[in-house]
Amino acid sequence: MAKGDTKLNLFRAMEVFVAVAETRQVTKAAAILGITQSAASQHLKSLEQEIGAPLFDRSSRPISLTRTGVEFHNRAEQILGDIDALRTDIRQARSFQPTILRTGLLASLATTLTQPLLSMISRMLPDAKPVIRAGLASDHLALLEARQIDLAVTSDPYYDLDRLERRALLTEPFCLVLPPDFNEPVERLDDLTGVLPLVRFIPGSPVGRRTDQHLQRLKLSFPRSVEVDRSSLAVAAVASGHGFAILSPSLLIDGITEGLPMQIRPLPGPTLTRTLTVVSRERELGDLPEQITAGLTSALQQAFAERLEPLAAFAADAIRYDDIGQ
């Protein structure tokens, strides 16, 4: 028997073993796999000879796993799962023609990016149905893990997760956002202490964590006036004079588009930035993520040039579009 055939038989024997371990019946496992009972029994016999120990206690009814069988079952499931994932990846990488493309967008960019995203999808995948979901970076993580979205335009690269591709859209500075009629100079953030409260994101939100950590490093504390979970709410609160906020251009752009009045100034003290990233599962979408990243980068450059630069040229000039790679 050729070496390749031996490996193929070993994989088949592992499939038979896992099926018998789960059904506890050789006959039922053979029927599920579409083979004869004698063939299934021979696979198990060959596998036990290869392992050098019995994998099943055949004296019990139904049969049960031995201690060696329990350990082997855990490893066999992992190996077979990896093989299935690899086969799927190779198949999809060779011929990717999705009928549905599910994208997660940061809620703060939904108005700005939805139209260019739909235009790109209709051009690249004319037969695909686009599904777009807006939310926070934490929403995107759960949706990616549950395979409910294929790609996310998000503020968290999820470096703690394996098997993801990452492409940077931009790196942007956080700015000081003040009510339109606020006329006092602000050379330090603590100049606002007792003058304006902070419009704050809820503690569990990604932006809320970033700004809270920044303020803690500066040993600053501001009273809470309004707590929000969306940047549009923060901009609306500032525009109506309920406090100041610390926001980045991508968090401001939809509010600017809607014409909400505000002042945008450089953030005093240490620089605070964030990177927006296109995240997708590894080798599932072919070159689509790269094309979408390029298209959305162009759309954001245009939006910032037209809408942000007239209000805050310093912020538009500070945005960087260098790709961080995968």
**Check: CATH 1.10.10.10 for 3-94?**
yes
At 164-212, the pLDDT tens digits run 999 999 999 999 999 999 999 999 999 998 899 999 888 778 888 889 9
At 27-74, the pLDDT tens digits run 998 888 889 999 989 999 889 888 899 999 888 888 899 999 899 998
Q: Do domains 100-168+275-306 and 175-273 have the same CATH topology?
A: yes
The pLDDT of residue 240 is 95
**Token pair listed for 234:** 């923060």
CATH number of 175-273: 3.40.190.10
CB within 8 Å of 322: residues ≥ 6 apart: 168, 171
The CATH architecture to which 100-168+275-306 belongs is 3-Layer(aba) Sandwich (3.40)
- Is pLDDT above 80 for 323? no
The pLDDT of residue 66 is 92
Residue 162 to residues 12, 133, 159, 279, 295: CA-CA distances in angstroms? 28, 23, 7, 12, 26
Mean pLDDT along residues 218-246: 90
For tokens 């809607």, name the residue.
258
In three-state form (DSSP H/G/I as H, E/B as E, the rest C), the secondary structure along 190-255 is HHHCCCCCEEEECCCCHHHHHHHHHHHHCCCCCCEEEEECCHHHHHHHHHCCCCEEEECHHHHHHH
Quick count: other Cβ atoms within 10 Å of Cβ 258?
A: 12
At 111-149, the pLDDT tens digits run 999 999 999 999 988 888 999 999 888 888 888 888 899
The pLDDT of residue 138 is 84
Domain layout of the chain by residue ranges? 3-94, 100-168+275-306, 175-273
The whole model's pTM is what?
A: 0.67
